């Protein structure tokens, strides 16, 4: 049962990864007892599982994911939300307005209008139906302030880190509140624009260097350095 790759090797679709009793994991497929890659990425294996960590992919909705989306359409009974996936998501009016409403009287666009950003959770999704969202939990709902950063959805796990180590570090160091949408859209709200910018730089750095080891430490150092720089500038300004 040979394998034809080294750990973390870059593969392209169609590359033969293994032969024999292996199981095709993420972004791989099995044909005639052979495992091939189906996406561009880095190969990993665990026991008999051969996975490809995709470098290029798009967001596929999953039950329970938190996502950040843009309202693109106001309908009679709800909204259509663009969550940067192949499918538009539905947000029902009855979910947002906890009271009873009638489509004739209530103007839904007064509650949420096209172009508004919302944080929502996916409560229903299967291949036959578009994903359905809810905002009926604390922390969800319309976004009123903050900065939006977009990253490739495959990099989200790295951004969160092991048990959230990476993201909690950024939160702590920058003093910003950060909400990560699993669809690759991130909301940063901080006390000042400088704090928010610092968090943005850190997130972009993680996206660019997501495959390196010891990243958390380097990001910590970078933030501290940037912070010192900002402080210096502030002091210089107050002097003049």
Say how far apart CA 66 and CA 22 lie, in whole Å: 33
Instruction: Choose which of 1, 2, 6, 14 interacts with another protein (CB under 8 A).
Output: 14
Say how far apart CA 136 and CA 232 lie, in whole Å: 44
Q: How far is the CB of 30 from another protein (least distance, A)?
A: 11
If binding means CB under 8 A, how many residues of this protein chain bind another protein? 28
Say how far apart CA 193 and CA 89 lie, in whole Å: 31
Tokens of 212: 């390196």
Say how far apart CA 194 and CA 82 lie, in whole Å: 29
Binding mask 136-175 for another protein (x = CB under 8 A): ----------------------------------------
In angstroms, the Cα distances linking 10 to 25, 43, 103, 114, 165 are 16, 7, 53, 41, 27
Residue 206 near residue 219, CB atoms below 8 Å: yes
Based on the shown chain and the rule CB under 8 A, indicate whether residue 63 belongs to the binding site for another protein: no
In this structure, the chain runs to a length of 240
Chain CA centroid to CA 112, Å? 23
- Smallest CA-to-CA distance from 60 within 137, 158, 160, 154 is with 154
Instruction: Choose which of 22, 24, 27, 43 interacts with another protein (CB under 8 A).
Output: 27
Say how far apart CA 87 and CA 5 lie, in whole Å: 34
Which of the stretches 9-17, 107-115, 133-141, 165-173 binds another protein when contact is defined by CB under 8 A? 9-17
Based on the shown chain and the rule CB under 8 A, indicate whether residue 16 belongs to the binding site for another protein: yes
Which of the stretches 49-57, 103-111, 117-125, 175-183 binds another protein when contact is defined by CB under 8 A? 49-57
Q: How far is the CB of 181 from another protein (least distance, A)?
A: 18
Q: How far is the CB of 29 from another protein (least distance, A)?
A: 7
Which of the stretches 51-59, 91-99, 156-164, 196-204 binds another protein when contact is defined by CB under 8 A? 51-59
Q: How far is the CB of 103 from another protein (least distance, A)?
A: 22
Nearer to another protein (CB atom), residue 26 or residue 194: 26
What b/e readout covers 157-184, taking b as 16+ CB neighbours within 10 angstroms?
ebbebeeeebbebbbebbebbbbbbbbb
Based on the shown chain and the rule CB under 8 A, indicate whether residue 56 belongs to the binding site for another protein: yes
Based on the shown chain and the rule CB under 8 A, indicate whether residue 13 belongs to the binding site for another protein: yes
Instruction: Choose which of 23, 88, 111, 135 interacts with another protein (CB under 8 A).
Output: 88
Name which of residues 174 to 213 contact another protein (CB under 8 A).
209, 211-212
Which residues contribute to the site for another protein (CB under 8 A)? 8, 10, 12-16, 27, 29, 31, 36, 38-40, 54-58, 60, 86-88, 127-128, 209, 211-212
């Amino acid at each position: 049962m040979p394998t034809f790759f080294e750990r973390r090797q870059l593969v392209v679709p169609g590359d033969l990864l293994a032969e024999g009793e292996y199981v095709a994991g993420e972004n791989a497929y099995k044909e005639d007892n052979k495992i091939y890659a189906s996406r561009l990425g880095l190969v990993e294996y665990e026991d008999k599982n051969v996975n490809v960590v995709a470098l290029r992919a798009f967001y596929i909705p999953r039950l329970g994911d938190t996502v950040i989306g843009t309202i693109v359409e106001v309908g009679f009974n709800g909204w259509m939300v663009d969550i940067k996936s192949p499918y538009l998501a539905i947000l029902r009016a009855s979910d947002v307005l906890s009271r009873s409403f009638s489509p004739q009287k209530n103007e839904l666009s007064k509650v949420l209008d096209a172009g508004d950003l919302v944080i929502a959770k996916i409560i229903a999704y299967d291949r036959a139906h578009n994903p359905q969202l809810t905002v009926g939990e604390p922390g969800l709902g319309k976004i009123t302030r903050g900065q939006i950063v977009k990253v490739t959805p495959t990099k989200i796990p790295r951004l969160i880190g092991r048990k959230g180590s990476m993201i909690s570090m950024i939160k702590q160091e920058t003093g910003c509140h950060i909400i990560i949408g699993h669809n690759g859209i991130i909301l940063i709200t901080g006390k000042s624009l400088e704090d928010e910018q610092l968090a943005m730089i850190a997130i972009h750095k993680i996206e660019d260097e997501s495959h390196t080891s010891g990243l958390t430490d380097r990001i910590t150092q970078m933030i501290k350095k940037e912070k010192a720089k900002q402080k210096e500038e502030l002091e210089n300004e107050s002097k003049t």
